[in-house]
């Protein structure tokens, strides 16, 4: 490499841009990101696989990416190389790709390593890099380069994709240190007992399992009595049960009294990698599909044979050519020795060797990019040491002939080489809807997303650029993919409306009739369930997927074949009891949740109530009639409109200081007055026993940064409510806050504290009519404040200048100080308070690839359940798991059966009587109730007269009559539920009815 280029790489380490990398930081952490930012990576080969790896690394934020591929762009490269255009044909692949890669991340320079057409990379060219990645490179070159990298401490990865096959080899050196093999948060828990002895047993509180495994390490804090454990060196654990574990000898320690917290300690792991030359002879194989045990050993020999074939003939085997496949099988057998081969797999490897699929490149490329990040950051466990992947199930049931896979001289030749021209036309003419973000004359792609592009979006996908900030995702995405593939022009639609109950007039039966299936890329369960219900209703295939950091999953939903997404759901996350949040927090998550509620209670709800009082006639009367908190509401309105209404920012500082005193001093002192630290329960056990922590009040101190941070954030947010401008003069804020004299605390007697959620909440203060009347009279008449409104704060977690996360961090940490809980930094608080889902481009790419491999199957119309795969991956471990989708459960109805995909269909808007007669005549079932949505249309309880009236009405008229509103224009059908029983009066489970009107 030229000296000038090396100098370019040697840039100063940049501060991590949390606005850009926020979601990724929750996956990798600051330390790993800093190590990445000092690493230069070389990627050899800029076809579909190489560009996928380079794209993910640019987005991730390594120090620099250098690409090497002096070969000339060919039209078929455009099949999967999304950064090449038709105008690039004849240019160097690296030169043509570099400008578009460089747009992805301003913090990551992208360089081109010079070379001449046909020239393989040399050792002299790789010496300035920390990681070298070779893609689709001859095995002889891999061996030559790896010999040097292994000897010189440079991390090495070789990867290939051939049609529906992929392979990866890792060599990170003979003593690679992995500092965090799993990336999971260290476990911790509260202790109930610790034995004193040579094999001491630690018993945890029975609220939660400890989650530890044999060989884990732990340390301790807050242990009373056996204080030698506090801050001790990590102790190795032997698990004895879900709530107990052994830690070794404590016989010389003090006697355990009470309390204590164990915390898991992540221990570095040393991994020995063999060079490629040794590993080829004695491979350690990573399994990607436990249903294909024979594949790795077969493909280990097959990929070596493929390289030999290519070096012998100067080309890869011809698609679907039996002669070339036979020769490859012969070479493979000679290499495999006594290893039993799956000859059909080798034959397909030969048939598909010239294939190039974007989906497989996404799977292998996303995986390899994460392995590169592991190499440079030491975060997560690397793959050891060979990985082989295939998705032969994606082939069409009607396999193509040799003539059908012959190249056409088009951009799609890489896909045609695998699937054939006939199937390519099938792909091109499909109609597909993407919810959340190769088409032919009849094909169409619908993209929906109501969100606009934010800065953090730029880090985890490659369709958006900084210039697109604030624009709608769907529109920018459609424009970007159309630029990548002009054949999409006129065959895409971008929608800015979400798909939900409020937009059913837009995404109606006509819309669903026009599409062949749906791909979900949604970020919440509620939206996924709704889309799943629509796909079941309209009987459309659904490809469901999601990511969480390094974890990803895919699910295939096929009409009349599989269960739906909503058929099985994860149990809801366990929530902390409200009394724990309110009075007895014991973890930082509790104080953050409390602070988030305080945010609403201080800056959202009061302003909303004030505006309601000022603008809504009858607001007060309705609130007084239906609320049990009349007095608190009136007092709140009085404070915000009269007694504490600020006119200057200094008065907002005063308000913030008084709020501090209430939340962190007087409320705590009142709690301790009601429940003293020496209080005992009915059994004589100290009340403040774990998991409860006895709090201590805080005394305000402007020299304490945490105290002042709270005042600054609270004062600015209060000022925002009133449209007042704040100041960043900390000295002034501190001076005003310290000058305030707070009232002397006087404890209240007979204050009841709710100990657990099963106890009745403390009764509200008596709503004395006279007091309420006085409070009401003290409020200014709305007419006297015409035009005056407060501005409720709309929580926005990603604006670092709006004081929202600053307030929650400060409020939470002060609460944590009250209760002796370890505070959390702003980064962690932001994730918990903002419910941020960790995300990284590598997982997104891999999951996208898996979804597209299932899409091939959907387009083929496969009816064999076992051909489809639900997938789960965890790139941190790494782990791949695939399973057959669960078949749609069958339920009996007389002599037949039905599944969730079945329904009774009634056309011509029948009357209720006609529906009732139909069930009796066709199934000998009696109707006990009919409903539509939340409206009960009929049951025997309505009486004889109403029954006679309703039986005569068409279902549509009945719905309008009982629902008291017209059916929405454009509605073509109604979903009607019926409760049926047999001759014995037993309820019979039946599908819903679809009534066309």
Phi, psi dihedrals of residue 87, rounded to the nearest 5°: -70, -10
Each residue of 449-471: b (16+ CB within 10 Å) or e?
Answer: beebbebbbbbbbbbbeeebeee
Instruction: Give the residue among 899, 168, 885 at the shortest CA–CA distance from 554.
Output: 885
Distance separating alpha carbons of residues 945 and 514, to the nearest angstrom: 44
Backbone phi, psi, residue 160, to 5°: -140, 150
What are the respective helix, strand and coil percentages of the chain, to the nearest 5? 40, 15, 40
653-668 in b/e form (b: 16+ CB < 10 A) is: bbbbbbbbbebbbbbb
Dist. CA 173–CA 196, nearest whole Å: 44
Rounded Cα distance between 780 and 613, Å, is: 10
Residues 917-937: b if buried by 16+ CB within 10 A, e if exposed? ebbeeebebbbbbbbbeeeeb
Residue 587 DSSP one-character state: S
User: Is 579 marked active-site?
Assistant: yes
Q: Which of 579, 652, 852, 981 is catalytic?
A: 579
Q: How far apart are CA 408 and CA 762, in angstroms?
A: 78
- Cis before residue 385, ω within 30 degrees of 0? yes
Torsion sign over Cα 208, 214, 216, 221: positive
Question: Do strands 155-162 and 891-893 pair parallel, antiparallel, or not at all (unpaired)?
Answer: unpaired
**Contact at 8 Å (CB) between 414 and 79?**
yes
Locate the DSSP E strands across 336-468: 386-390, 431-435, 444-448
Do the Cβ atoms of 246 and 238 come closer than 8 Å?
yes
Strand pairing partners for 270? 177
How many whole angstroms separate alpha carbon 446 and alpha carbon 492? 6
| DSSP-derived secondary structure letter, 641 | I
Cα dist from 2 to 117, 510, 608, whole Å: 19, 61, 64
Which one, of 323, 193, 316, 195, lies nearest residue 259 by Cα? 193
- Smallest Cα–Cα separation from 574: which of 209, 831, 876, 821? 209
Which DSSP state fits 117? T
Which helix H or strand E contains 217, and what residues bound it? Answer: strand 217-221
Question: DSSP H helical segments within 397-466, as ranges?
Answer: 413-419, 421-428
In whole angstroms, what is the distance from residue 723 CA to residue 462 CA? 39
Q: Which two tokens stand for residue 764?
A: 């509200």
- Of 112, 97, 99, whose CA–CA distance to 65 is shortest? 112
* Residue pair 610/644 in contact by the 8 Å Cβ criterion: no
Q: In what order do the strands lie in the sheet with 492-495?
A: 492-495, 444-448, 431-435, 517-520, 542-548, 551-557, 870-874, 879-883
Cis status, amide bond into 878, omega within 30 of 0: yes
Give the three-class secondary structure for 741: coil
d(CA 493, CA 479): 10
Residue 495 phi, psi dihedral angles, 5° rounding: -120, 140
Rg (alpha carbons) of the chain, rounded to whole number: 33
Strands 904-906 and 993-996: parallel
| SS3 state at 261 | strand
Residues identified as active-site? 579
């Amino acid at each position: 490499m030229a000296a000038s280029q090396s100098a370019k790489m040697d840039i100063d380490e940049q501060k991590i841009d949390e606005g850009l990398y926020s979601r990724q930081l929750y996956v990798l952490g600051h330390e790993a990101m800093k190590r990445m930012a000092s690493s230069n990576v070389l990627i050899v080969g800029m076809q579909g696989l190489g560009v996928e790896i380079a794209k993910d690394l640019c987005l991730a934020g390594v120090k620099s990416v250098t690409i090497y591929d002096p070969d000339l762009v060919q039209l078929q490269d455009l099949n999967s190389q999304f950064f090449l255009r038709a105008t690039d044909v004849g240019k160097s692949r690296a030169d043509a790709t570099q400008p578009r890669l460089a747009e992805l991340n301003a913090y990551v320079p992208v360089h081109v390593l010079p070379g001449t057409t046909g020239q393989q990379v040399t050792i002299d060219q790789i010496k300035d890099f920390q990681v070298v990645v070779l893609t689709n490179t001859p095995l002889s070159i891999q061996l030559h380069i790896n010999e040097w990298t292994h000897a010189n401490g440079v991390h090495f990865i070789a990867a290939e994709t051939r049609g529906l096959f992929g392979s990866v080899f890792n060599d990170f050196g003979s003593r690679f240190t992995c500092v965090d093999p799993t990336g999971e948060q260290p476990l911790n828990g509260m202790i109930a007992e610790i034995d004193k002895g040579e094999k001491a047993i630690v018993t945890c509180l029975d609220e939660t399992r400890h989650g530890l495994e044999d060989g884990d390490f732990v340390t301790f804090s807050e242990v009373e009595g056996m204080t030698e454990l506090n801050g001790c060196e990590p102790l190795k654990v032997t698990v004895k049960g879900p709530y107990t574990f052994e830690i070794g000898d404590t016989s010389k320690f003090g006697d355990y009294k009470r309390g204590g917290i164990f915390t898991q300690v992540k221990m570095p792991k040393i991994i020995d990698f063999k060079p490629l030359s040794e590993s080829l002879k004695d491979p350690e194989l990573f399994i990607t599909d436990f249903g294909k045990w024979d594949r790795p050993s077969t493909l280990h020999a097959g990929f070596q044979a493929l390289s030999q074939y290519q070096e012998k003939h100067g080309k890869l085997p011809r698609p679907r050519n039996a002669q070339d496949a036979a020769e490859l099988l012969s070479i493979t057998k000679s290499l495999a020795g006594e290893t039993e081969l799956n000859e059909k797999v080798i034959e397909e490897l030969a048939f598909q060797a010239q294939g190039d699929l974007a989906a497989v490149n996404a799977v292998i490329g996303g995986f390899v990019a994460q392995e590169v990040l592991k190499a440079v950051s030491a975060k997560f466990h690397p793959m050891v040491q060979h990985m082989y992947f295939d998705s032969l199930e994606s082939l069409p049931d009607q396999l193509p002939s040799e003539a059908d896979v012959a190249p056409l001289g088009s951009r799609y030749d890489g896909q045609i080489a695998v699937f054939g021209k006939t199937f390519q036309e099938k792909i091109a003419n499909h109609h597909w809807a993407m919810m959340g973000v190769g088409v032919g004359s009849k094909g169409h792609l619908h993209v929906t997303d109501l969100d606009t592009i934010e800065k953090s979006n730029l880090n985890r996908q490659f369709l958006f650029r900084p210039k697109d900030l604030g624009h709608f995702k769907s529109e920018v995405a459609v424009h970007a993919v159309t630029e990548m593939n002009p054949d999409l022009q006129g065959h895409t639609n971008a929608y800015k409306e979400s798909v939900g109950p409020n937009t059913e007039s837009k995404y109606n039966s006509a819309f669903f009739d026009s599409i062949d299936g749906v791909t979900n890329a949604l970020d919440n369960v509620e939206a996924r369930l709704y889309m799943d219900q629509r796909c079941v209703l309209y009987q459309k295939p659904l490809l469901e997927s999601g990511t969480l950091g390094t974890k990803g999953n895919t699910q295939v939903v096929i009409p009349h074949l599989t269960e739906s997404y909503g058929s099985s759901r994860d149990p809801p996350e366990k929530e902390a009891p409200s009394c724990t949040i309110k009075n007895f927090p014991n973890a930082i998550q509790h104080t953050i949740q409390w602070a988030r509620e305080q945010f609403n209670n201080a800056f959202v709800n009061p302003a909303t109530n004030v505006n309601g009082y000022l603008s809504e006639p009858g607001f007060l009367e309705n609130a007084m009639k239906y609320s049990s908190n009349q007095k608190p509401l009136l007092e709140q309105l009085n404070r915000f409109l009269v007694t504490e209404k600020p006119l200057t920012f200094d008065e907002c500082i005063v308000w913030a200081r008084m709020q501090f005193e209430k939340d962190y001093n007087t409320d705590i002192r009142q709690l301790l007055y009601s429940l003293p630290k020496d209080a005992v329960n009915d059994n004589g056990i100290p009340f403040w026993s774990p998991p409860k922590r006895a709090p201590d009040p805080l005394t305000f101190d402007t020299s304490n940064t945490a105290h002042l941070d709270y005042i600054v954030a609270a004062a600015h947010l209060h000022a925002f409510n009133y449209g007042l401008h704040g100041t960043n003069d900390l000295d002034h804020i501190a001076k005003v806050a310290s000058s305030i004299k707070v009232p002397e605390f006087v404890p209240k007697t007979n204050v009841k504290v709710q100990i657990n959620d099963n106890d009745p909440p403390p009764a509200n203060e008596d709503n004395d009519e006279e007091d309420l009347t006085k409070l009401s009279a003290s409020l200014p008449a709305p007419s006297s404040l015409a035009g005056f409104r407060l501005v409720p704060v709309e929580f926005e977690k990603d604006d670092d200048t709006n004081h929202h996360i600053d307030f929650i961090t400060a409020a939470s940490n002060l609460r944590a100080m009250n209760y002796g809980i370890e505070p959390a930094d702003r980064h962690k608080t932001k994730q918990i308070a903002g419910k941020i889902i960790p995300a990284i481009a590598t997982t997104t790419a891999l999951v996208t690839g898996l979804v597209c491999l299932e899409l091939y199957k959907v387009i083929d119309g496969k009816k064999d359940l076992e051909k489809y795969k639900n997938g789960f991956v965890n790139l941190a471990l790494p782990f791949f798991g695939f399973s057959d989708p669960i078949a749609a459960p069958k339920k009996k109805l007389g002599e037949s059966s039905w599944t969730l995909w079945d329904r009774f269909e009634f056309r011509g808007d029948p009357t209720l009587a006609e529906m009732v007669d139909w069930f009796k005549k066709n199934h000998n079932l009696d109707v006990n109730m009919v409903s539509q949505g939340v409206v009960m249309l009929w049951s025997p309880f309505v009486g004889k007269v109403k029954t006679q009236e309703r039986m005569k009405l068409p279902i549509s008229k009945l719905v309008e009559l009982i629902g008291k509103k017209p059916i929405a224009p454009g509605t073509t059908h109604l979903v009607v539920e019926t409760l049926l029983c047999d001759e014995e009066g037993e309820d019979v489970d039946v599908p819903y009815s679809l009534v066309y009107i």
